[in-house]
Chain A
């Protein structure tokens, strides 16, 4: 019965989100769509095919995954930090029967939902660029949600540690931007030298980018299961750590 209490927090966030729907969508989707246009269409026209795909086709699925990451991570850093400090929303919630676990789950599932929505809108926009996803793309949706959970939890960890908004500059500059650039969205990781490849494949966005490409085009060249299991484990750890750190911050 109490296991789904976190849903009420999801509803609260949704109620606020509805009021600023346009601003958040443009904020979350602007960047990946512009990259698709500039890199895929602008740069890609003069490039040789990569891994049997046009450059635009090659980067499109990864940009879907990056939209999920940005949307989820920004929600649980700037958004959650505002609720934690300025608005004292968490304080108000903890005076009700809800506890820290509900709060953490509500925030993470909310962030993942927003991430997933950004990903789905990106997928729906792909045909406009001449990219036609295969039916396998349906299998990508739970993966996008899982990735949303991971990056929401990661963002919430940062929120639990943050002393002010400037702290998130470290997160975006040192974590999110490098992940955007080096997780195989813009170049194939598989053809890199083995040590470099090893490092890049350990990054949390890399398996999601690969899965996005696999499911988007229905081309199964790489092992899928390992990537899914790895992502599940990483997400579980991140959610647990977010809960631990936020509890430490909220309950003295």
Chain B
């Protein structure tokens, strides 16, 4: 399958993504946002900004308030307190104007199952009042960009999971949005399908599209985001540049060691000679090294099995939000 796309796509998007003369660099500005469902405080006094051209990753365990936050940006959930400004317009008061300039890839598939790929796009373009000829041209570009042009007449039911996701993305880009909101854009997809989507999102990013991304796949977030914001229990736990946060809060690298209690006790003692924090989970010892601990590698020879790897976003996430399940 040819995944190339035409040059016109880049041009149209580049032209459109240049900040307009009057536009400020802050695309989204949220202050003191709060939402209660009955007695339950779901979003608790959250503040954050999204700058033009950035991709901000929204992370948090299930029920942390990510989706509620996004729904409030779109006016689908009413806020109890706080202020939301998008494109310098107050939300939800100007939701019509705001939503005309946003593209959304929702978590749940909301394609029209009775319509074909192309009809889905044409119908959605209608909601944005995009003139027919312009819509036809954009649909053509987007079908090529997302490698769907061979499936244009296919009914949604016959598409694979990856194709549906790509179509949702194409649909979100019809109005040439200045802000793209991606709620779990690659959930449930195989690695090939995920990589294709990441590749396309990376192209959009080089063209300056501002993005808000939520995902449970932390490798996805590390790959795409320049800023992350970790939510838990409705509050912002931390926000900043992912690599900086990892280095500051977790360390440089991680040793994961399996072994018996006695073995791990001995190793734990050895690792105290190095600037590192330690964590025991079951039969496993995690050592988060804040400096180069290479000199201790020799003591690991005694352990059953071990891995040495760079610290990543998942370590940071677990450190900040804990290991307990959030299933309720």
B113 touches A96 (CB 8 A): no
> Is A177 interfacial (CB 8 A cutoff)?
no
> Is A42 interfacial (CB 8 A cutoff)?
no
Whole-angstrom distance from the CB of A246 to the nearest CB of chain B? 13
A99 and B109 in contact, given A8-B129, A15-B123, A19-B114 (Cβ under 8 angstroms): no
Contacts of B111 in A (CB 8 A): 92
List B residues 101-151 near A (Cβ within 8 Å): 102, 104, 106, 108-115, 119, 123-124, 126-129
| Nearest B residue (CB) for A252 | B77
Contacts of A99 in B (CB 8 A): 95-96
Contacts of A97 in B (CB 8 A): 96-97, 99-100, 127-129
Contacts of A190 in B (CB 8 A): none
> Is A23 interfacial (CB 8 A cutoff)?
no
- Counting chain B CB atoms within 10 Å of each CB, the highest count among A15, A16, A97 belongs to A97
Considering the chains assembled together, what is the distance between the CA atoms of A12 and B124 in angstroms?
A: 9
> Is B76 interfacial (CB 8 A cutoff)?
yes
A96 touches B115 (CB 8 A): no
> Is A164 interfacial (CB 8 A cutoff)?
no
Which secondary structure characterizes the binding site on chain B? loop
| Nearest A residue (CB) for B101 | A97
Whole-angstrom distance from the CB of A95 to the nearest CB of chain B? 4
A94 touches B76 (CB 8 A): yes
A12 touches B76 (CB 8 A): no
Digit string of B132-174 for contact with A (CB within 8 Å is 1, else 0)?
Answer: 0000000000000000000000000000000000000000000
Whole-angstrom distance from the CB of B102 to the nearest CB of chain A? 8
Chain A interfacial residues counted at CB < 8 A: 25
Contacts of A191 in B (CB 8 A): none
A91 touches B112 (CB 8 A): no
Considering the chains assembled together, what is the distance between the CA atoms of A209 and B38 in angstroms?
A: 46
B109 touches A96 (CB 8 A): no
Whole-angstrom distance from the CB of B98 to the nearest CB of chain A? 9
Chain B interfacial residues counted at CB < 8 A: 31
B113's partner among A9, A87, A251 (CB-CB below 8 A) is A87
> Is A228 interfacial (CB 8 A cutoff)?
no
Whole-angstrom distance from the CB of A94 to the nearest CB of chain B? 6
Considering the chains assembled together, what is the distance between the CA atoms of A98 and B129 in angstroms?
A: 10
Whole-angstrom distance from the CB of B112 to the nearest CB of chain A? 6
Considering the chains assembled together, what is the distance between the CA atoms of A8 and B75 in angstroms?
A: 20
Contacts of B78 in A (CB 8 A): 251-252
A95 touches B74 (CB 8 A): yes
Digit string of A1-31 for contact with B (CB within 8 Å is 1, else 0)?
Answer: 0100100110110011001100000000000
User: A residues touching B (Cβ–Cβ < 8 Å)?
Assistant: 2, 5, 8-9, 11-12, 15-16, 19-20, 87-89, 91-99, 250-252
Could you give 6 example pairs across A and B, Cβ below 8 Å? A16-B115, A87-B113, A92-B124, A94-B76, A96-B127, A251-B75
Q: Which 10 A/B pairs are nearest by Cβ-Cβ distance?
A: A92-B110, A88-B110, A96-B127, A95-B104, A8-B126, A97-B100, A16-B114, A97-B96, A252-B77, A12-B123
